[in-house]
A and B are shown apart, each in its own frame.
Chain A
Amino acid sequence: MPKPAALVRLEDELARRPKELTQAKAQGKRILGYFCSYIPEELVWASGLIPVRLCRRGDNQAATIGRSFLTTNSCPFACSCVGLKKQGRDPYFKLVDLVADAPACLQMRRVFEVWERYFGVKVILLSFPRKFYLPEASEYFARMLEPFTRELSDYSRIPVTPERLSRAVELYNHIRRRQQRLYSLLREDPPPITWRDVFRIIHAGFVLDREMYRDILDELLEEILPQPHTNRPPQARLLLAGSIMAPGDEKLFNILGELDAEPVMDELCTGSRGTWGQVDAPNEGSLARHYLTNIPCSSLPYPRLEDDPRHAHISRLIKDYRIQGVIYHTLHFCDAYNFKVQHLHNLLSSYSIPLLHLNSDYSMADAGQIRTRVEAFLEIIQDRSA
Chain B
Amino acid sequence: MSVVTKSFDTIHKFLNSPRLEFGLRILHDPSIVTDIRRLDGRFLKISAWGIFKFLVEALWKYPGMFDYEIDPSLRGMSELTYMILSLEERVKAARKRGVKIVGKWPANPTDPYFVDGVMALDPFLAGYCRLLAEGKPDLVKRGRARLSEEACPAQAAAYSILDEETYPMDFFYPFIGPWCYDSQYCFEALRHKVDGDYGDHPVFNQRDDRLGISREYLRQELLRFLKRLEELTGKKIDPEALRREFILENKLRRVLREIIALPQEEPPPIDSLAMILSVFICSDWLGDPEAALQVLSRIRDAGYERLAKGRRGMLVQKYPVRILITGIAWGDLGLYNMVDELGGVIVGSDCVYNLFHKDIDTDGDPIDILTDRFLATPYTWQVEERSMWTVNTIRSAKRVDGLIFNCNFGCNYQAAEARFVTDIVKRETGIPCLITDADLPKENRGQMRTRLGAFIELLKERQLED
Contacts and interface: CB of A to CB of B under 8 A. Distances in A.
Interface stretch (A136-144, A164-172, A241-249): A136-144
A107 B150 contact: no
Contacts of B192: 305, 343, 346
A333 B408 CA distance: 13
Contacts of A110: 383, 412, 416-417
A337 to B, nearest CB: 9
B410 interface: yes
B177 interface: yes
B148 A339 contact: yes
Tell me the dominant secondary structure on chain B's binding face: mixed
Given A130-B184, A339-B148, A103 B217 contact: no
A68 interface: yes
Contact of B412 (A68, A75, A340, A342): A75
Given A127-B214, A129-B217, A339-B148, A73 B202 contact: no
B434 interface: no
Contact of B181 (A107, A125, A136): A107
Contacts of B389: none
Contacts of A137: 200, 217
Contacts of A68: 419
A131 B200 contact: yes
Scoring A106, A110, A134, A340 by chain B CB atoms within 10 A of each residue's CB, the highest score goes to A106
Interface string A73-114: 111000000000000000000000000000100110110011
A338 interface: yes
Interface in B75-117: none
A139 B169 CA distance: 32
Interface string B196-217: 1110101111001110011001
B382 interface: yes
Most chain B CB within a 10 A radius of its CB, from A71, A110, A340, A342: A71
Interface stretch (A190-198, A254-262, A296-304): A296-304
Given A125-B204, A125-B205, A144-B210, A303 B189 contact: no
B384 A335 contact: no
B125 interface: no
Contacts of B415: 71, 73-74
Given A117-B383, A117-B420, A131-B198, A301 B412 contact: no
Contacts, number: 144
B407 A73 contact: yes
Interface in A52-81: 68-75
A338 B148 contact: yes
Nearest to B148: A338
Contacts of B221: 131
B177 A130 contact: yes
A71 B420 CA distance: 11
B186 interface: yes
A113 B151 contact: no
A37 to B, nearest CB: 17
A333 B409 CA distance: 10
B222 to A, nearest CB: 13
A144 B212 CA distance: 11
A69 B382 CA distance: 16
A112 B384 CA distance: 12
Given A127-B202, A134-B200, A71 B418 contact: yes
B185 A73 contact: no
B188 A339 contact: yes
A128 B146 CA distance: 31
A301 B187 contact: yes
A184 to B, nearest CB: 31
Interface in B368-424: 382-384, 407, 409-413, 415-420
A106 B379 CA distance: 13
Interface in A112-158: 113-114, 117, 125, 127-131, 134, 136-137, 140, 143-144, 147
A320 B79 CA distance: 62
A117 B384 contact: yes
A103 B176 CA distance: 12
Contacts of A336: 185
A12 to B, nearest CB: 40
Contacts of B411: 71, 73
A335 B182 contact: yes
B191 interface: yes
Nearest to B424: A117
B420 A73 contact: no
Contacts of B59: none
Interface in A171-220: none
B412 A109 contact: no
A303 B412 contact: no
B294 interface: no
A237 interface: no
A290 interface: no
A74 B177 CA distance: 17
Interface string B216-260: 010011000000000000000000000000000000000000000
B20 interface: no
Contacts of B184: 130, 301
B416 A71 contact: yes
B148 A74 contact: no
A116 B418 CA distance: 16
Interface of B: 146-148, 150-151, 172, 176-178, 181-182, 184-189, 191-192, 195-198, 200, 202-205, 208-210, 213-214, 217, 220-221, 382-384, 407, 409-413, 415-420, 437
Given A73-B416, A74-B412, A103-B203, 14 more contacts: A70-B416, A106-B413, A107-B181, A107-B416, A127-B202, A127-B204, A127-B210, A140-B213, A335-B412, A339-B147, A339-B188, A340-B185, A340-B189, A346-B192
13 contacts: A70-B419, A73-B416, A74-B416, A109-B203, A110-B383, A110-B417, A127-B202, A134-B200, A144-B202, A301-B198, A303-B195, A338-B150, A346-B192
Interface of A: 68-75, 103, 106-107, 109-110, 113-114, 117, 125, 127-131, 134, 136-137, 140, 143-144, 147, 301-305, 332-333, 335-336, 338-343, 346, 359
A-B CB proximity, top 8 nearest: A127-B204, A71-B415, A339-B185, A305-B191, A301-B188, A110-B416, A131-B200, A106-B181
